[in-house]
Chain A
C-alpha cells in the first residue's frame, strides 16, 4: 500500500494496513540504527521542528535522534524560554514555526486536540507527540513494534495494561494500535481511574476491564505498566502510593507468577517501587530499553513517510481536508 497521510495525530482511525506499513518501515530503520554510522541522507535539507509545550525528555530526544539519523535539520522549541511564556498564542507560535520553514512539526501539548488545531492551520505536516489525555500515537506504534518483536503475530494475544487508564494517552494509543493487529486488551486499575463507561461494560472492541490486577495478569501474553501521574493523588483519586503499589503495582511477586517469557513494558519515566518494582523494571522480563530503541525507529519511519509523501503535498493541500478534531476527550 502507499502512504497517504499528511499528519499523524492519532492512530484511532488508521487501518491495519497503515499500522503494518509503519511497523515494516520501522523494522528497516532499526537496521540503520545498528550500523557503524547511524545516519542516512534521506531527509537532507528538510526541516523538522520539535515543539514541546509540555515537559518531555525521552520523547523529545527520541524524535531528535530519529530526525538526525535521517539527516534532517532540527530545531527545538520548548514552552519555557520561548515566547509562549510571554503569552503568545498557540496559533501565532505555530505560524512562526511555519514561517521559519518547518516542513514537519512534532508537537507535544497539554491540551487534548491541540495538534488538530495546528494541523488545520499550517501547510507543514504535524506529528502528535502527546496531547493531554487524548493520544500518543508514536508510543502506541513503538509498543506494537516491541510486542511484535517479542511475541510475533499479535492475533489473539492478551495484553494487560495496568494503571491510570483514565488520564493515559498511552493506554488509548496502545488500544488503537494493538487491537487492529488482533490483540485483546485486559485493563486493570483503580476504578476511579478507569473511564466509567468502560467499567460498566461498554469498553471499546477488543478491550475488557478486570476488577483486580491478578485477573488481568492471569493468562497475559504481555504486560504494560503505566506511569502513575502523582498529581492525581492530590485530586483525591487515590488513597496512597503505598496502597496503589499493593493493589495495582507490577511487583516482583506478581511478575513471578506470570508465565515464563511474558514481557513487561513501561512507557517511562518509571516510578520504581510504585507502579513497577525496580527488580521487574530492570529484570529479564523488561523490554523498557527495547522500547527506547524501537521508539527511535518508529519515529524515523514516520518522519520518512511524511517528508517523502509530503514532497508533492503542497499542490494537494486544498484537496486534503485535515482530520476532524476530537469533539471531546474520550471518557
Chain B
C-alpha cells in the first residue's frame, strides 16, 4: 500500500479544481455542482465552499445516487442499497459539474449522466474527479482532474476524506500479478 496524495495534496487539488471550474465558463452563476455518492458529495461540498470563498457565489449543490442506473444490477449477488438523490434545483440550462472521487471504467459516470438527464436538460455536463486512474471502458473523460495515476486494472485506489473517514488521503493497494 502506498500513499498517492496526502492531506495537503488533496487540499491543493480541490483549490485548483475550484478555480478551473469557474475559469472555464467565466460566469459562475450558471454552474451547479452535483456530487456522486458516496464521496463525490463530500468533494462537491468542499468545491462549493472554495468557490464561495473565491467568488462570493454560492452554487446550487446536489447529491446523486446512481444505484438504480447501474448496468450491473443483474449481475450482483445482493441488492446494493439505494440512497436518496437530492437535487433541489432545476438543472435545465445549467452547466452541471458532476463530482466524483475516482474515475476508472467510466461506468459510474455513464449512470450519473443518465440519472441527471431524468431531471431536465442541462446546458452542459462536465466532470471533476480527484483521481483519474485510467482503464476506461466507455468513451468518457474528465474535464477537471486532481491527479492522474497510472494503475493496473486490479489495483485498488482508496480515497479517504475527513468528513467520512477521519482523514484526507488517497492510497493505492497494488495487486501483484504473478508472472
Residues of A within 8 A of B (CB): 2-4, 21, 24-25, 27-29, 31-32, 35-37, 39-43, 45-46, 70, 301, 304-305, 307-309, 311-312
Contact = CB atoms under 8 A, between A and B. Distances in A.
A39 B104 CA distance: 27
Contacts of A24: 81
B118 A308 contact: no
A37 B118 contact: yes
Given A37-B118, A308-B80, A309-B79, A31 B86 contact: yes
A17 B118 CA distance: 32
Interface of B: 65, 67-70, 73-86, 114-115, 118-120
26 contacts: A2-B78, A4-B78, A21-B81, A24-B81, A25-B81, A25-B82, A28-B83, A28-B84, A29-B82, A31-B84, A31-B85, A35-B118, A35-B119, A36-B118, A36-B120, A37-B118, A37-B119, A40-B115, A42-B68, A45-B74, A70-B68, A309-B77, A309-B78, A311-B73, A311-B76, A311-B77
Contacts of B75: 311
Given A3-B79, A24-B81, A31-B86, A42 B69 contact: yes
B114 A41 contact: yes
Contact of A27 (B67, B76, B84, B119): B84
A41 B85 contact: no
B140 to A, nearest CB: 18
B82 A304 contact: yes
B128 to A, nearest CB: 24
Nearest to A69: B68
A312 B77 contact: yes
